[in-house]
Chains A and B, each alone.
Chain A
């Protein structure tokens, strides 16, 4: 394992930066570099000077990448889209914690003021057999898409938009559904789980639709098929460490895992008589 020679990149010492005269952060980054799926990977060390504390973590990586591109090197690959904490595209592990140290925060919403000057940050991709690494910090999370395709939807006839409020939903149910629907599918739960289990994600999807009238007709099939798809993808079994809950940027509760278990058991029993 030969780490590439350390590069020192000048950070965003923006003259108009709100930091004013305040000195930015000096950081040592150890970033996982991997060329392709299945290729061997290793950590590469970079030093960043004068990093603005107002930058998000992804903006800090942008600065690193601009420097790498200027030097004719391969930039660090990472996923992102909204950068508002709502799409679920971003996500990697900083010093052993999925999405970094701040509670209920995605890496795109994590700001550099969460770190101290002189810190060494070890940046790794999510590690789970069901999430193979594609390049650097990018992992293939299409296993989640296949689980959702197995039942994480409601079937409706297309056509003109239905009347709003045609189906009344009690406020408590709406809130429970919304709490579960807050899951953005980022995969941090799998990354944080010592067992690589996806049960918080699947629990959120199943609980979300189970709380709504539109979800009832397919309720049993959904639980059975999504669990079958989850198992097929090679995710592990929940042993209730609940590191997933502590790492979830959207605060999805562990009660969703218990509900998933109940839904699956009830659906299994009912399916036997069909």
Chain B
């Protein structure tokens, strides 16, 4: 029985132009299509976001050396170790800027898309309890973190004294001012709220979603966000209590 053979070549059954049919052999158009699509944008945000979380873990681990000794010698050794990397450090920093830039760029794109997709508001707005303070304020907390990072870089990375004899001293004298401590607490607070949604959300976007482990994924994301938040917040708090007045 040959009646099952279709007179049409395979694929001809598909109706409509379909983007896929526009692909040429060995074409790389999929890259453009992927990164221009709604899902591709979310992938970029998720991957860059998770890599930045990885950086935060390393950053916090390094900062904790501030507590290692009174003199700040361990922290200084760590800072010098980083500077000694030379071009490698530059490459790493360029990478970080790239990740951050991509994350912000795609955040602005999705923000624009989402605003356009939902122009009119409901007269009564009522959540069904799924959206959270963190998920609803992602663009705001993200913007606060962006501003905070700029201030933070000016304070330390761009201050030549940081490459000098006493980087720990610069940290102490900077954070000991109540205004600076307040800025750091706000920045870290916004970061923590951002991450409390972001980490588990990024994993869901990357496809890590199953009824068996979704509750664990959500708790792990929240737990890591809180740990990072407490860790980073400890510096301005400690600065106010232990270092406050002395150096300011």
Q: Which residues of A contact B (CB under 8 A)?
A: 30, 32, 43, 93, 95-97, 122, 124, 127-130, 149-151, 155, 157, 159, 192-197, 199, 217-218, 220-221, 224-225, 227-228, 230-231, 234-243, 245-247, 253-255, 257-262, 264-265, 268-269, 271-274
Contact = CB atoms under 8 A, between A and B. Distances in A.
Contacts of A274: 23, 25, 27
Interface in B177-202: 197, 200-201
B131 A265 contact: no
Contacts of A259: 207, 209
A96 B42 contact: no
30 contacts: A95-B124, A96-B122, A127-B118, A129-B118, A129-B119, A155-B13, A192-B128, A194-B114, A195-B118, A199-B38, A224-B19, A225-B14, A225-B18, A231-B38, A235-B38, A240-B200, A240-B201, A241-B131, A241-B135, A243-B128, A243-B130, A253-B211, A254-B214, A255-B210, A258-B207, A259-B209, A262-B207, A264-B40, A268-B30, A272-B27
Contact of B28 (A30, A230, A272): A272
A131 to B, nearest CB: 10
A217 B11 CA distance: 9
Contacts of A30: 123
B34 interface: yes
Contacts of A247: 128
A224 B116 CA distance: 23
A240 B205 contact: yes
Given A224-B33, A235-B117, A265-B207, 7 more contacts: A237-B41, A238-B38, A240-B135, A242-B131, A257-B209, A258-B206, A268-B33
Contacts of B34: 265, 268
What bracket does the count of chain B residues touching chain A fall in? 35 or more
Contacts of B200: 240
Nearest to A155: B13
A267 to B, nearest CB: 8
User: Chain B interface mostly helix, strand, loop or mixed?
Assistant: loop
B241 interface: no
A225 B23 CA distance: 12
A260 B126 CA distance: 27
Contacts of B43: 261, 265
Contact of A196 (B3, B10, B26, B117): B117
Interface in B204-225: 204-211, 214
A264 B138 contact: no
Among all A-B residue pairs, the 5 with the closest Cβ atoms: A96-B126, A258-B209, A236-B117, A196-B117, A246-B128
A150 B130 contact: no
B31 interface: yes
A249 B175 CA distance: 52
Contacts of B14: 151, 155, 218, 221, 225
A227 to B, nearest CB: 6
A271 B25 CA distance: 9
